[in-house]
Amino acid sequence: MAKQYYNFLNGKWTRPHSKVYFDNINPADTSDVVGRFPESDGEDVEKAVRAAEAAYDAWRLFPAPKKGEIMMRAGQLMMKNKEKLARLMTREMGKVLAETRGDVQEAIDMAFYVAGEGRRLTGETTTSERKNKFAMTMRIPIGVCGLITPWNFPMAIPSWKIFPALICGNTVVFKPAEDTPASACEFVKILTEAGLPNGVVNFVCGGPNTGELIVRHPRIKLISFTGSCEVGRFVGEHCGRTLKRCSLEMGGKNAQIVMADANMDLALEGALWGAFGTTGQRCTATSRVYIQRKVFPSFVRSFIRQAKKVRIGNGLKPNAQMGPLINAAQRERVHNYVVRGVKEGAKVECGGKFARGAGLGKGFFYQPTVFTNVKPIMTIVREEIFGPVVCLMSIKDLEDGLRQANDTAYGLSSAIYTGNVNSAMKAIRDLEAGITYINGPTIGAEVHLPFGGVKNTGNGHREAGRTALDIFSEWKSVFVDFSGRLQKAQIDTD
C-alpha cells in the first residue's frame, strides 16, 4: 500500500478538505507508486492563505540575518540527506542519479547563497537636492506569495523561489507539480526542521485546478510560475487584469552554434549533453545545433554515432545515462512531434521510437532522436518539444548562424563553440537570449547569476542571483529632513 501524504498548513500535516488523492507514479516503472497525494480544493488553498497571512507580520519583522540562519541550516540538512533526496527524486521523476544529486546540490547552493543575502539586503544612500536632508532606498516585502513549480527540477526550482521570497520577508503558498510532490514534501520537511516558523511556508498539492485557485486567489499578492508558455499566458493575463505582481519562467528553443575553428570533440560532447541531459526535459535543452558547412558532415556522423550509444534505463541503475520521460502523455507528445517532423520532410538519422528492451517495458522511455534535412519553417524547429529530440543544421558562416539561432519565438539559452575570440564576442553581443555560453553547452546554470530569457521565454524577471530579490520585494524611497523647516522640493530654489 502506497504511503499517503497530506498538505502542510500552518505547521501541521493536514488531510485535504477535498478528501481526494492521486497516485504519484515512478516514470521508469509504472508498477511503483511513490505515494498518494492530495488533490487540493478551494478550501485547502484558503486555509493555506489564511495561515500565510497570519504568519506574515511576525515574519516580515524577523531580522533578515536570522532568516538567513534558518536557510543555512536548511542547506546543511540537505547536504546531510543529499543521497536520500536524490534517490527519491530519481524514483519520482526519472532522471539519472548524477543529475538528481546535482538538483539537490543546486538547492543547497541556493540556500547558502540566499542566507548570505540576509546580511546584505542593501538599498542605496544618495544625496538630496535640499540642505539638511537625507535620502535612501530600502527593500520591503510584498506579502503572501503563490509559488508554482515544475517537475523537471523538483528541489532546485522551488529553492530558487522559496528562499528569495523568504529572505525578503514574504510568506508562501507553495504548489509543486503533480508529477513530483514527494521531493517537494521532503523540501518542506527540511525547512521545518531548520526552524522555519509555522505558517511561513504552506504546502498544497494538486493539479491544474489547484494551481488556478492559487493564481486567482485575491489575497495572494504575487505569483511566481515556471512551466509552459500556454499556462504562463493564462497566469500573466489574470495577474495583469488584477494588477498582481507576476514572474514567469517559460519555454526555450535553444541553439548551439559550432564554428569550423571549434574544438570538435568539446563541441560534440556539449551538444550531446545539452540535447539528452534530463532526457531533453529542460527549458535550456539544446534542441537546435547549427554547424558550419565545412565540418557539418563529420560532426553529424560523430553526433549520430554517439547518440546511438546513449544508455537508456532506470536512473537508479549505475550504468544509465538517460532516464524516461515524465509520463505517458509527455512521451506521446514527443512522438507526435517526431511524426510531424517526418511528414514535413525532415530525416530521422537515429531514434524516433519508444525505447524497448530489458528493464524498459514498464517505463516511459524514448530513444535519443536526431533529425537532419531540417528547414527553418518546420514545426520541430519552431516549437519546444521537451524531449530527447535535436535538429542538426548547416550554416554558411557566423552571421548565418546568429541569424538562424535568433529566428525563434524564444530566447532563454544559447551557446557557441569557437576558437576565435572575435566570433565569441560577436555572439555574446548578438545572440538574443538571456544566457550565452562560450565553448559550453546550453545547460548548466549557476545560482549566483540571473536565470531567465527574452521573447516568449518570460516576462522580463530573472530567477537566481541578486536579481531574484527584485521580484520578491518592493523598493521604498525614504527622505529624512533634519532642517527643522518645511522644504519644498523643486519649488524652493535657495
- CA distances from residue 197 to 62, 171, 188, 192, 200 in whole angstroms, order as listed: 10, 10, 12, 7, 6
What is the tens place of the pLDDT at every residue in 292-329?
999 999 999 999 999 999 999 999 999 999 999 999 99
Task: Give Cα separations from 253 to 151, 202, 256, 270, 395 (angstroms).
Answer: 19, 34, 10, 16, 18
Question: How is residue 180 written as a grid cell?
Answer: 513530483
**Dist. CA 391–CA 417, nearest whole Å:** 17
Does residue 436 have a pLDDT over 90?
A: yes
> Where residue 78 sits, what CATH number does that domain have?
3.40.605.10
CA dihedral 446, 447, 449, 450 (to 10 degrees): 120
Q: CA 472, CA 247: separation in Å to the nearest integer?
A: 9
Query: Is residue 241 located within the same domain as residue 361?
Result: no
Q: Is residue 211 located within the same domain as residue 348? A: no
pLDDT at position 489, please? 84
Q: Residue 354: beta bridge partners?
A: 366
- My answer on whether 146 and 232 are in the same domain is yes
Mean pLDDT, to the nearest integer, of 228-239?
95
pLDDT at 357: 92
For residue 372, give the 3-state DSSP assignment.
strand
Domain check: are 17 and 128 in the same one? yes
E strand or H helix at 242, and its extent? Answer: helix 229-242
Is residue 489 one of the residues assigned to a domain? Answer: no
For residue 129, the model assigns a pLDDT of: 92
Asked if 241 and 356 sit in the same domain, the reply is no
On the question of pLDDT at 395 being above 80, the answer is yes
Determine the Cα–Cα distance for residues 456 and 412; give it in Å rounded to an integer.
9
If asked whether residues 48 and 97 sit together in one domain, one would say yes
Distance, CA of 190 to CA of 78 (rounded, Å): 7
**Lookup result for grid cell 548570505:** 116
The dihedral over CA atoms of 415, 421, 422, 423, expressed in degrees to the nearest 10, equals: -30
* C-alpha span between 112 and 106 (Å, rounded): 10
Question: 270 with 394, same domain?
Answer: yes
The whole-angstrom separation of Cα 151 and Cα 372 is: 30
125 grid coordinates: 544612500
Confidence of residue 494 (pLDDT cuts 50, 70, 90): low
CB count in 10 Å sphere of residue 33: 14
E-strand stretches of 63-221: 125-126, 133-141, 144-148, 171-175, 201-203
Same domain for 467 and 399? no
pLDDT of residue 1: 78
List, as one string, the DSSP characters of 280-338: G-STT-EEEEEEEGGGHHHHHHHHHHHHHTPPBS-TTSTT-SB---SSHHHHHHHHHHH
Q: Does residue 2 lie in a domain region?
A: no
pLDDT category at 490 given cuts 50, 70, 90 is confident
Overall domain count for the chain: 2
Same domain membership, residue 290 and residue 396 = yes
Would residue 491 count as lying in a domain?
A: no
The residue among 464, 463, 452 whose CA lies nearest residue 412 is 452
Helix axes 229-242, 208-216, angle to 10 degrees: 20
Same domain, 225 and 312: no
pLDDT at residue 340 tops 90: yes
Residue 143 lies in a domain: yes
Cβ-contact 164, 468 below 8 angstroms: yes
> Does the residue 49 lie in any domain?
yes
Query: Rounded distance, CA 183 to CA 26, Å?
Result: 12
Instruction: Say yes or no: 237 and 285 in one domain.
Output: no
Query: Among the residues of 97-195, which ranges form H helices?
Result: 97-117, 156-167, 181-193
In which band, very low, low, confident or very high, does the pLDDT at 16 lie, cut at 50, 70 and 90? very high
Query: SS3 for 429?
Result: helix
Bridging pattern class, strands 201-203 and 171-175:
parallel
Please compute the mean of the pLDDT values over residues 366-381 and round it to a whole number: 98
What are the residue numbers of the active site? 249, 283
Express each pLDDT in 422-435 by its tens digit.
999 999 999 999 99
Flag whether pLDDT at 70 surpasses 90: yes
Report pLDDT digits (tens) over 163-209. Answer: 999 999 999 999 999 999 999 999 999 999 999 999 999 999 999 99
**Side chain identity at 345, as an amino acid letter?**
G
The C-alpha atoms of residue 242 and residue 216 are separated, in whole angstroms, by: 9
What's the CATH code of the domain at 275?
Answer: 3.40.309.10
Residue 226 has what pLDDT?
97
CA–CA dist 52, 298 (Å, integer): 58
Does the residue 430 lie in any domain? yes
Mean predicted lDDT score pLDDT of the chain: 97
Rounded to the nearest 5 percent, the helix, strand and coil shares of the chain are 40, 25, 40
- Domain residues for the domain of 289 are 254-438
Instruction: Give the cell for residue 314.
Output: 532506470
**Percent of the chain residues past pLDDT 70, beyond the cut:** 100
Q: Are residues 31 and 159 in the same domain?
A: yes
In a domain, 392, yes or no: yes
Dist. CA 122–CA 70, nearest whole Å: 20
Q: In this structure, is residue 449 part of a structural domain?
A: no
Q: Which residues pair with 438 in a beta bridge?
A: 416
